[in-house]
């Protein structure tokens, strides 16, 4: 039984060539936070997440700083009593990347994203976005559902957001459905 092309691409990304990836990340570091790319770097992952090579689909490479989950401490002006340096660890980096793309490109709807690399300072993601105003998308029966959805990443409706909100576990005893704060009285 022979395997397809996407299988071998997936296998190659399990153990990527470190030298090539390091050279790529050196180039990516010099670019801006958002970079539109012509084709996805991981074609197998992009296709699995809904990408199609047609008009209306846009792939954006996002560079995100690692760490820094604490809010900065006020150094002058009126301060609050406890300084409010709370951690914000409930959002994963992929969800943060999708939200930033959603805010930067208001004419595009975020479909999904995947990680393409990380170094000591940055995470790099490719975010698949869809232009819902294109007739190619509106006439596509498998993709026209996204035409009615606005700001999916900001509202927490993408796959990474749902995972970060704990909505992947569908066990009846794991009642996390309303929100992460709704079941405080249960002692969890």
Residue 178's pLDDT is what?
61
Q: Is the pTM of this model over 0.75?
A: yes
- Report if residue 64 sits inside a domain: yes
Whether residue 185 lies inside any domain: the answer is: no
Residue 181 counted as domain residue: no
Would residue 77 count as lying in a domain?
A: no
Q: What is the mean pLDDT of residues 150-159?
A: 91
- Cα dihedral 44→48→54→56 (10° resolution): -130
Q: Lowest mean pLDDT: which of 88-97, 108-117, 177-186?
A: 177-186
Establish if 138 belongs to a structural domain: yes
Cα distance between residue 70 and residue 108, in whole Å: 30
Rounded mean pLDDT of the chain?
Answer: 87
CATH number of the domain bearing residue 15? 3.40.1120.10
Q: Does residue 179 lie in a domain region?
A: no
Enclosing domain of residue 159? 5-70+84-168
Print the SS3 string covering 4-33: CHHHHHHHHHHCCCHHHHHHHHHHHHHCCC
Is 155 domain-assigned?
yes
Residue 50 lies in a domain: yes
Instruction: Measure the CA–CA gap between 68 and 13, rounded to whole angstroms.
Output: 28
Q: Which strands, in side-by-side order, build the sheet including 34-37?
A: 34-37, 57-65, 122-130, 109-118
The rounded percent of the chain whose pLDDT value lies above 90 is 63
- Exposed, middle or buried: residue 188 (CB in 10 Å: 0-12, 13-18, 19+)? exposed
How many separate domains does the chain show?
1
């Amino acid at each position: 039984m022979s395997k397809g092309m996407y299988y071998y691409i997936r296998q190659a990304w399990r153990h990527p060539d470190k030298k090539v990836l390091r050279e790529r990340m050196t180039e990516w570091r010099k670019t801006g936070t958002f970079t539109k790319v012509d084709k996805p770097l991981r074609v197998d992952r992009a296709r699995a997440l809904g990408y199609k090579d047609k008009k209306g689909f846009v792939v954006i490479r996002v560079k995100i700083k690692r760490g820094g989950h604490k809010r900065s401490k006020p150094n002058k002006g009126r301060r609050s009593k406890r300084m409010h340096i709370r951690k914000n660890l409930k959002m994963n980096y992929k969800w943060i990347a999708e939200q930033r793309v959603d805010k930067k490109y208001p004419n595009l709807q975020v479909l999904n994203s995947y990680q393409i690399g990380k170094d000591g300072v940055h995470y790099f993601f490719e975010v698949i976005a869809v232009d819902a105003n294109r007739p190619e998308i509106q006439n596509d029966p498998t993709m026209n559902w996204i035409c009615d959805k606005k700001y999916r990443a900001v509202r927490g409706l993408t796959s990474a957001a749902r995972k970060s909100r704990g909505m992947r576990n569908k066990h009846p005893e794991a009642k996390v459905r309303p929100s992460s704060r709704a079941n405080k009285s249960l002692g969890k």
